Amino acid sequence: MSLEPGTTVSDRYKILAPLGEGGMGAVYQAEHVYMKKIVALKVLHASVAGDADVVARFEREAVAAGSIQHPNVAAATDFGRLPDGTFFLVLEYIDGTNLRAEIDKGPVDQHRALRIMRKVVEGVAAAHEKGIVHRDLKPENVMLLDGEGERVKVLDFGIAKIETTAAASDPNKILTQTGQVFGTPDYMSPEQAMGEVVDKRTDYYSLGVILFEMLAGTRPFSGDTMALLRDRVINERPPALPLDLPVDENVRALVEKLMARLANDRFLSAEDILVAIDQASFERSPTLPPGLTPIPMTDSVRQASVAPTARVDAVSLELQGLPRPTSPGLASLSGRTRAIIGGVGVAVVLALLFLVFGGSSGTHGTITATPSANGSASSDVAATDPSLNEGDLKELPTPNARVDGAGDSKDDKTSRDKNAARTKDAREKDPKKKGRKTGPGGIYIPPPDQWFK
């Protein structure tokens, strides 16, 4: 019997609208009359309320969904029985579309498929931590929110196997009765199709089939009858993804390992699957080798990555065909500024020359004689006339007294005059020295037009 909108269930859930109906029950959108919260209300049909197996399955879903607290799993919040003997289950209401509707549109893009699968694996991993194997993972039991699959919810733990106390010491052992077959044949693992004891690795196989179908748009196995399909799942090796699909090699390897025919050849844990998904997701990135985790691009990192650097490598710029950076020197100054700097420099040079040589007299430097240990004199030539060469200096007589022009004897004056005349003659004979003008101390001063040459 269907529930009409406006009917109140268990004195607190008001039926708003029907959402769907199956052979064992119906699902309604309802509102908690006290909390004003929208929920999904699942109600068994009265015709199956006396079936112990159906009721046990319903209770199993309530226990499983109620014990898993994860954003990628639809949580159960209430379970009860109506006066007519039927059972109801209250679940988190999810406003979205199931994965089956997306696959029916055609193959899903590789990157979006990996994003969806990562969320599904996270939800399944949360169930495995509670000792729960889903056993019926398929696109119909995966809900997508926000239109692009960024949010995912795993549904329907109705045939889930819940770990018993006896198996608590071994998380891989989930007890069931040998010979019983539960699930959808298209997504069953070979061991599940044969009715063997299963563990979490049977869910990994189902995840591989879902990912295969998202990428290829078709399932790996098909058959005209349920028996033929089951036989192929049990006896044949799962096919690889078609070669013409635009899928990276890491993704192909991920699907192949998930759907390995033998359970021991599949992944050991959901964490290993997540690592493999991350590697496959970034395979095309030229800056991230497989096995590394990408660094989140925060605002500060993004700004730093595009900020100009303080140092520019001139060689690298030249290799790229760009001009070398120039330093701000005299070339960057205006002509007026350069003229002022040049004039100041000349004035400083002239002032230094005047201070050093301004007190000297005559056209030659000062020659000082100091007595030696044996009474003779040794000469020390300082600031000599640059017009005198080495030969001229050798011809100069060694003075016997200090020559400053004062107190000179007649012979001394005569000797100095001869030396000056000899020096003048040597300068006149040298075309490079002829006509040169000297300043104080005999220093040659070039004309102004040659100061900066």
For residue 167, the one-letter residue type is A
Helix segments in 130-244, DSSP class H: 190-193, 201-216, 226-235
Give the active site residue among 51, 136, 186, 392: 136
**For residues 290 and 279, what is the distance between their CA atoms, to the nearest angstrom?**
5
Question: CA neighbours within 13 Å on the CB side: how many for 438?
Answer: 21
Written as six digits, the tokens of 269 are 């844990």
Written as six digits, the tokens of 160 are 């889930």
Q: Are 82 and 62 within 8 A, CB to CB?
A: no
The closest alpha carbon to 229, from 184, 261, 265, 260, belongs to 184
Within 10 Å of residue 207's Cβ, how many Cβ atoms?
A: 24
Q: Are 204 and 262 within 8 A, CB to CB?
A: no
Known catalytic membership, residue 136:
yes
Q: Are 106 and 214 within 8 A, CB to CB?
A: no
* Residue 426 zone, left/alpha/beta (φ > 0; ψ -120 to 50; rest): alpha
**For residues 292 and 279, what is the distance between their CA atoms, to the nearest angstrom?**
8
| DSSP track, 345-374 | HHHHHHHHHHHHHTT--SSS--EEEEE-TT
Give the DSSP H or E segment for 144: strand 142-145
Give the DSSP H or E segment for 418: helix 410-429
**For residues 202 and 259, what is the distance between their CA atoms, to the nearest angstrom?**
9
**For residues 163 and 63, what is the distance between their CA atoms, to the nearest angstrom?**
12
* Residue 73 zone, left/alpha/beta (φ > 0; ψ -120 to 50; rest): beta
Handedness of CA 437, 440, 444, 448 (dihedral sign): negative
| DSSP track, 55-72 | HHHHHHHHHHHHH---TT
Question: Which residues form the catalytic set?
Answer: 136
